[in-house]
Amino acid sequence: MKVEGRGVIITGATSGIGYEITKMLYNKGARILAIGRNESALEGLKKEFPNLKVLRVDLADRKARKIIIPYALEVLEDLSILINNAGVGYFGKTLGSNPEILDRVMEVNFWAPLDLSLSFANIKSGQKSIIVNIISLIAFVPLPKWNIYAVSKSAERVFFISLREELRKYGIKVINLYPPAVKTPFFENSLGEKPKPVGFMVDPQKVASKVLNAIEREKEEVFLSFRDFIIAKIGSLFSPTISKLYGFR
Ligand SMILES: NC(=O)c1ccc[n+]([C@@H]2O[C@H](COP(=O)([O-])OP(=O)(O)OC[C@H]3O[C@@H](n4cnc5c(N)ncnc54)[C@H](OP(=O)(O)O)[C@@H]3O)[C@@H](O)[C@H]2O)c1
C-alpha cells in the first residue's frame, strides 16, 4: 500500500522509533494522528509537521484509549493504517516486583494494541487497511530480568499472528516487526532496575525504513536482518548462555 494521502495512527510518536516512523511517513505524504503522553513532545511534533494531528492519551488507561479510533475518524480524512508502536520495558527481578508495574507493562504493550486493533478492524472491515505492530526480537528469546517485557511482547506476537488469519478475508493485513536493540531512550525509560547497556544497537531510522517498506510491499513477518531471523529461529536454545554472558544468573 502506498502511504501518500493515507490516514495513519501512530502510537508512541513522541520518541525513538515512533518519532522516526512519523517523520518518514509524514514526508511521504501520509496524514498522521500522533499519540503520546508527553505534552511538550506532542507540541514539538505539531510545530515540526504542521499538518499532523496529535492526541494525548495514556495507553495504560483502558477508558482513555477508547477515544483514539473515533477521534482519528473525526480529524483524518482517511484511516487506513494503525501502527502499534508505543511500548515500555521492565527490567528487574520477578520475585518481589510490584504487580501494578507489571500490569502497566501488559496494558501498554499487549492490551492497548489489542483494543485499538479490534476497534480499527471493526470499522475497516471490507476496506483495504493495515495494522503494524512494533514487537521485539525478545518475543523469541526470553532473557532473565526482561521476562515480564518478553511475555508482553510474545503475547502480542502470538495474538497478532492468529488475528492476521482472521482479518485476511476482510482486507485487513497484519504486519509484525521484530527489531533487535535500538538506539532510543527505551532503556532509560524502562521501569524497574537500570538495564545493562547492550553492545550492538541499530538506528531507529533503520527500523522506520523497514516499516515503510513493509507497508508498501505488504510484508507480514519482518526482521531487520538475516542475523535477527536466525536468532528468532534458534535463539531460545542459547538463552542460558546469553544469560550467563550478561551476568543475569
Ligand atoms: N529500543 C529498543 O531496543 C527496542 C527494541 C525492540 C522493540 N522495541 C519496541 O519499540 C517500540 C518503541 O520503543 P522505543 O525504542 O522508541 O522507546 P522510547 O523511545 O522509550 O519510546 C516509547 C514511546 O512509547 C510511548 N509510550 C510509553 N508508554 C506509554 C503510555 N502509557 N501511553 C502512551 N504512550 C506511551 C512514549 O510516549 P510518551 O513518552 O509521550 O508517553 C514513547 O513515544 C516499543 O514498543 C518497544 O517495546 C524497542
Report which protein residue has its CA nearest ligand 1's atom 36: 12
Mutation probe of ligand 1 site: the residue of 20, 42, 83, 85 with most atoms within 8 A of C-beta: 85
The DSSP line for 150-199 is HHHHHHHHHHHHHHHHHHHTTTEEEEEEE--SBSSTHHHH-EESPPPPPS
Question: Residue 112's pLDDT is what?
Answer: 98
Mutation probe of ligand 1 site: the residue of 101, 175, 182, 206 with most atoms within 8 A of C-beta: 182
Q: How far is CA 130 from CA 112, 117, 214, 228, in A?
A: 17, 10, 10, 24
Q: Report which secondary-structure segment, H or E, holds 34.
A: strand 31-36
Question: Residue 237's pLDDT is what?
Answer: 78
The residue among 184, 165, 185, 183 whose CA lies nearest residue 173 is 165
Average pLDDT across each block of 10 residues of the chain; the chain has 249 residues. List them in order. 97 98 98 98 98 98 97 96 98 88 95 98 91 96 88 97 96 97 96 83 97 98 95 80 63
Q: Is 191 in the pocket of ligand 1 (CB under 6 A)?
A: no
Q: Is 15 in the pocket of ligand 1 (CB under 6 A)?
A: yes
Atom of ligand 1 at shortest range from CA of 17? 16
Strands 53-56 and 90-91: what pairing? unpaired
What structural domains and CATH numbers belong to the chain?
7-245 (3.40.50.720)
Question: Residue 1's pLDDT is what?
Answer: 96
208 grid coordinates = 522506520
Please tell me the pTM assigned to this model.
0.96
Question: Residue 242's pLDDT is what?
Answer: 66
Question: Residue 141's pLDDT is what?
Answer: 87
The residue among 128, 122, 211, 126 whose CA lies nearest residue 175 is 211
Atom of ligand 1 at shortest range from CA of 12? 43
The DSSP line for 35-71 is EES-HHHHHHHHHHSTT-EEEE--TT-HHHHTTHHHH
The residue among 76, 102, 78, 88 whose CA lies nearest residue 17 is 88
Reading phi first (left if > 0) and then psi (alpha if -120 to 50, else beta), residue 225 is in: beta
